[in-house]
């Protein structure tokens, strides 16, 4: 592979010559002895600068594998030196030598592991490749197992082996030799580790377990204060000595105030009996106060784990997750379970990289002069910065190089397309990755939702805000195909752009005119000119529409906006082209919905009630305990397609009409 990387467009003859030059030291070796093979290997290493190459690889790879790369050259030299000593004048065919060398390398591959990793080995001590053992645990040290007993077999006993030996037939290992080998294993227990712990069960196979004879010997060999070691009995019920148990219990309950503290923590109390006993010592006033703080054991437990809400903040993503499935929200934001890191780029990671590229592209205003060199530099630096962040530490830069290169290549295409969009628009970027949060900590003060007397502040980051003369549009980058409908907002599945629009208004951003999803996907399925076309809501105002796309003319569709103009110059009648009052309806409804979600999360709702499609792409579907009738799948919603219905709901009204199965809408 390293050889092939040196060629791109060379002729076949130049490639052939190079291969022959590299393999020249090995020509004519068939049938030669090991010394000549080793000489050829050394010539190859020197000619190809293998030592320098391995050092370069070690420096470039920022994982534990770099430690193995550091040892490669010295290990290789040691191997060939040992082969000369052991094999001496043995002759080989090329095939025989390559197979021998391959077998040696396979063993070295295993032996490399403990040299650069702290490891735990479980198995027979004499089968371990590990050196420098610090702690060794010997388990099951009962008589007959450690050391292993050697009994006569049904065919050959000790006498038969001695008789065969007298007649010139040597068996290995003999019974006596097996006993010696097993005894030698015990010696290794005393010489290899820095610390050895020997254990044996008091009950073994239904009878009393007897410690192996060597255990008694070891207690005599080692002393503490001049006295032999004494075994320590441990079991599941007593992991502490009596003195340690007494000290811990005294700390828990010896003083009145400390006992009250332990009782209030409840989980730290030794048992319900201890808690109940101490409770009887409290005064009536204290009992009344404690009863208000501690739920009785008979009350139904509710799940109230949510660190962000405890801090008085919430995110749009959290609410969208809750409306997709309350149980999923609990797993992700309540107990904060994360998908296992596999070191393989998924949609989530590629999306993060694309967002980083877009952010740098906009903030550096590379769209004003979008040359190939400038865009390539933006993509390279954005990806490099991400790979140095903690979120990407699990990725091997070398193994995933092709994937990262593909992201940069696709990122360059998207940057060029967005640059074209800016050239065709009077709207220009106002902010990229605009922060929403508490006052003084962000670009915009977050939307405030009040619930049960407490205030909760929206936090988040808006991918991009485009603005012109006080009119503004929220742009949300999406790494996969995604539409936005009134029904999506009604269900709560896609309220993030609405909440962000509500929070983003200031003296410069006065009039919302668009909530749009911008595709920034690697390997996006839609090809051709519509690949980067946005989706979402846009205002029904031809003057503003033609400011957003100043190339759009009557009777045409926009190349990048989800809108068209009729022959008379008015906007095409599509469900995503809405009146200016629609954005206010969206905002009022989203605020009401956010209040509802926050209240239900605080009340501990973790019911498995997913939206119809939510389970298909859920990170937790393999571990979800709910299936079939246990899940209430929400697959029916009111037939709602206009923002006016959302305003009705926001004002406390009800929708009229029958409930229908959820269907896709033309966006």
- Whether residue 371 has pLDDT greater than 90: yes
Entry pTM: 0.54
Looking at residue 528, its pLDDT comes to: 58
Per-residue pLDDT tens for 171-184?
A: 656 666 666 666 66
As a whole number, the mean pLDDT across the chain is: 75
- Whether residue 380 has pLDDT greater than 50: yes
Report which listed range, 492-501, 609-618, 654-663, is most confident: 492-501
State the pLDDT confidence band at 110, using cuts at 50, 70 and 90.
Answer: very low
* Helix-helix angle 284-293:256-265, to 10 degrees: 30
Mean pLDDT calculated for residue range 326-349? 74
Give a three-class secondary structure readout of 114-135: HHHCCCCCCCCHHHCCCCCCCE
Instruction: Decide if 438 contacts 421 (C-beta within 8 A).
Output: no
CA 237 from centroid of its chain's CA atoms: 37
- Whether residue 633 has pLDDT greater than 90: no
Mean pLDDT calculated for residue range 373-398? 82
Distances (CA, A) of 151 to 175, 185, 403: 8, 18, 60
- Whether residue 297 has pLDDT greater than 50: no
State the pLDDT confidence band at 126, using cuts at 50, 70 and 90.
Answer: low
H/E run at residue 164: helix 158-166
More confident residue, 179 or 276: 179
Mean pLDDT calculated for residue range 574-582? 87
- Whether residue 308 has pLDDT greater than 80: no
Looking at residue 122, its pLDDT comes to: 77
The sign one gets for the Cα dihedral 367, 368, 370, 374 is: negative
Looking at residue 551, its pLDDT comes to: 94
Per-residue pLDDT tens for 506-526?
A: 889 999 999 999 988 765 445
Report which listed range, 89-93, 500-504, 639-643, is most confident: 500-504
CA 350 from centroid of its chain's CA atoms: 13
- Whether residue 251 has pLDDT greater than 60: no
Eight-class DSSP state of 54: H
Mean pLDDT calculated for residue range 139-159? 65
- Whether residue 365 has pLDDT greater than 80: yes
Looking at residue 613, its pLDDT comes to: 77
State the pLDDT confidence band at 375, using cuts at 50, 70 and 90.
Answer: very high
CA 524 from centroid of its chain's CA atoms: 23
More confident residue, 292 or 393: 393
Per-residue pLDDT tens for 60-83?
A: 554 545 555 666 667 777 777 777
- Whether residue 661 has pLDDT greater than 50: no
Of 147, 151, 149, 141, the residue nearest 209 (C-alpha): 141
Instruction: For 198-250, give the DSSP string.
Output: E---SEETTEE--B-HHHHHHHHHSEETTEE-------SS--S-HHHHHHHHH
State the pLDDT confidence band at 547, using cuts at 50, 70 and 90.
Answer: very high
Instruction: Decide if 130 contacts 119 (C-beta within 8 A).
Output: yes
Q: 120-124, 416-420, 575-579, 618-622: lowest mean pLDDT where?
A: 120-124
Mean pLDDT calculated for residue range 361-370? 94
Per-residue pLDDT tens for 463-514?
A: 999 999 999 999 999 877 678 888 888 888 899 999 999 999 888 999 999 9
Looking at residue 19, its pLDDT comes to: 80
Per-residue pLDDT tens for 404-448?
A: 888 899 899 999 999 999 999 999 999 999 999 877 778 898 888
State the pLDDT confidence band at 532, using cuts at 50, 70 and 90.
Answer: confident
How many Cβ atoms are within 10 Å of 60's Cβ, its own excluded?
Answer: 11
Interatomic CA distance for residues 94 and 80, integer angstroms: 15
More confident residue, 637 or 324: 324
* 3-state class (DSSP) for residue 439: coil
Looking at residue 346, its pLDDT comes to: 65
How wide is the angle at C-alpha 634 spanned by C-alphas 633 and 638, nearest 5°? 160
More confident residue, 396 or 270: 396
Mean pLDDT calculated for residue range 200-223? 69
Interatomic CA distance for residues 637 and 618, integer angstroms: 21
Looking at residue 543, its pLDDT comes to: 95
State the pLDDT confidence band at 143, using cuts at 50, 70 and 90.
Answer: confident
Percent of the chain with pLDDT over 70: 64
Close Cβ partners of 127 (under 8 Å, ≥ 6 residues apart): none
């Amino acid at each position: 592979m390293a050889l092939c990387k040196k060629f791109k467009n060379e002729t076949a003859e130049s490639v052939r010559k190079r291969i022959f030059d590299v393999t020249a030291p090995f020509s004519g070796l068939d049938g030669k002895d090991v010394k000549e093979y080793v000489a050829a290997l050394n010539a190859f290493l020197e000619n190809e600068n293998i030592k320098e190459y391995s050092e370069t690889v070690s420096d470039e790879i920022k994982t534990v594998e770099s430690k193995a790369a550091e040892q490669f050259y010295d290990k290789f030299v040691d191997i060939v030196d040992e082969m000369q000593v052991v094999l001496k004048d043995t002759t080989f065919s090329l095939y025989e030598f390559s197979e021998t060398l391959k077998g040696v390398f396979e063993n070295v591959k295993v032996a490399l592991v403990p040299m650069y990793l702290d490891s735990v080995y479980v198995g027979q001590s004499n089968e371990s490749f590990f050196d420098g053992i610090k702690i060794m645990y010997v388990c099951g040290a009962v008589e007959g197992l450690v050391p292993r007993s050697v009994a006569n077999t049904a065919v050959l006993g000790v006498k038969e082996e001695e008789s065969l030996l007298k007649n010139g037939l040597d068996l290995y290992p003999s019974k006596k030799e097996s006993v010696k080998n097993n005894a030698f294993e015990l010696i290794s227990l005393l010489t290899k580790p820095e610390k050895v712990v020997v254990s044996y069960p008091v009950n073994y196979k239904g009878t009393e377990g007897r410690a192996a004879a060597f255990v008694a010997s070891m207690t005599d060999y080692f002393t503490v204060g001049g006295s032999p070691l004494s075994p320590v009995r441990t079991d599941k019920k007593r992991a502490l000595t009596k003195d340690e148990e007494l000290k811990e219990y005294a700390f828990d309950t010896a003083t009145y105030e400390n006992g009250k503290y332990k009782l209030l923590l409840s989980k730290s109390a030794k048992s319900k009996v201890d808690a109940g006993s101490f409770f009887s010592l409290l005064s009536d006033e204290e009992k009344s106060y404690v009863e208000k703080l501690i739920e009785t054991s008979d009350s139904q437990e509710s799940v109230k784990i949510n660190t962000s809400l405890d801090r008085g903040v919430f995110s749009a993503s959290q609410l969208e997750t809750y409306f997709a499935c309350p149980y999923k929200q609990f797993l992700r934001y309540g107990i904060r379970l994360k998908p296992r890191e596999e070191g393989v780029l998924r949609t989530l990671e590629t999306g993060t990289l694309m967002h980083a590229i877009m952010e740098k592209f906009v903030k550096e205003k590379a769209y004003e002069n979008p040359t190939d060199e400038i865009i390539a530099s933006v993509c390279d630096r954005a990806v490099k910065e991400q790979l140095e962040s903690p979120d990407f530490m699990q990725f091997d830069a070398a193994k995933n190089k092709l994937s990262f290169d593909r992201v940069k290549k696709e990122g360059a295409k998207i940057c060029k397309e967005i640059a074209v969009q800016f050239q065709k628009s009077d709207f220009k970027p106002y902010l990229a990755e605009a922060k929403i949060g508490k006052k003084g900590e962000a670009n915009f003060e977050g939307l405030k939702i009040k619930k049960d007397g407490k205030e909760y502040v929206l936090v988040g980051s808006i991918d991009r805000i485009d603005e012109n003369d006080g009119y503004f549009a929220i742009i949300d980058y999406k790494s996969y195909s995604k539409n936005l409908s009134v029904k999506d907002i009604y269900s709560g599945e896609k309220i993030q752009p609405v909440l962000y629009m509500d929070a983003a208004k200031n003296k410069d951003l006065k009039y919302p005119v668009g909530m749009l999803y911008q595709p920034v996907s690697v390997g996006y399925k839609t090809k051709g000119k519509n690949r980067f076309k946005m989706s979402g809501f846009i205002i029904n105002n031809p003057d503003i529409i033609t400011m957003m796309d100043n190339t759009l003319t009557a009777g045409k569709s926009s190349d990048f906006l989800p809108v068209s103009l009729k022959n008379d110059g008015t906007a095409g009648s599509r469900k995503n082209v809405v009146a200016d009052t629609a954005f206010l309806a969206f905002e009022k409804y989203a605020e009401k919905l956010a209040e509802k979600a926050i209240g239900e999360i605080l009340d501990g709702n973790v019911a498995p009630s997913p939206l119809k499609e939510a389970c298909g792409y859920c990170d937790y579907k393999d571990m979800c305990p709910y299936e079939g009738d246990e899940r209430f799948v929400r697959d029916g919603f009111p037939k709602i397609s206009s923002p006016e219905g959302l305003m009705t709901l926001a004002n406390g009204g009800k929708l009229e009409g029958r409930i229908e199965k959820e269907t896709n809408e033309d966006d």
